[in-house]
Homo-oligomer: A and B are copies of this chain.
């Protein structure tokens, strides 16, 4: 049985009953749970004797009010999902429990926050880092699980934990994808069928980057251009960015000499989607590098 905890004081009573030999694992979420979260719960279950999921749609990380308002809210479904994944506790505080006063103290993470999504979503990572720190302080887990889909977020949380000496071990969990490659995301629910059909194009663009790297291309600009071309073939998609970045610092790489993350963000209609893939220049392609990747999307050939 999954128990729902709404108040910090209530959690403190739960925590007082957790034995010293227990290992507490936290999976922070904003709800609208899917199998991507499921993989986080499963990973937590492997390492921890007590698993808590937080479900909190954090207002201070939304830079657009409409995005906050439209964020899917399906709490009863989420509770049922947690039951099936053997989550012990859901911590689902109301806004006034997390922010009883206007927040004045924030975690600011320089540099690493300024690239990629940091440019298109000012203040977003400050809000993420701040709420994650609050959840760490309230729930006091030994381990915390984050998806690699939000790769920059994962890098920022790792850096925060290291720089501020937080005694939480951060575990990154590989992205879970639909059969057609689309990374699982709560925002996918907001895509209409036509948009949903086009959404995997982002992943394909990133795979194009990976394939070029595996085929020996080292010039980041050329790699990015090829990936962007895949997106430009679909007029319904608006590009936010495609970048190759260092996995630790999230700094842009100009020449691929070591493993990078190929990361991208696009808009389809009013839904913003992100994704990223690992690209290792030491892994040589077994594909034929002389031909371009060609795939069928929504019944149409896309090169």
Tally of this chain's copies: 2
Max chain B Cβ within 10 angstroms of own Cβ: one of A130, A159, A164 = A164
| Cβ of A70 under 8 Å from chain B | no
Within 8 A of B (CB), among A257-281: none
Interfacial chain B residues near A112, Cβ < 8 Å:
104
B-binding segment of A133-141, A171-179, A180-188, A209-217: A133-141
A164 with B108: CB separation less than 8 A? no
- Chain B nearest CB from A263 CB (Å) reads 19
| A233 part of interface (Cβ distance < 8 Å) | no
Total count of chain A residues near the partner, CB < 8 A? 28
**A68 beta carbon closer than 8 Å to chain B:** no
**Interchain CB contact (< 8 A) of A104 among B101, B111, B134:** B111
8 A Cβ contacts from A212-267 to B? none
**CB <8 Å contact, A105 and B105:** no
Cα–Cα distance between A109 and B108 once the two chains are bound (Å): 10
Q: How far is the CB of A210 from chain B (nearest CB, A)?
A: 28
| Bound complex: CA A38 to CA B212 (Å) | 66
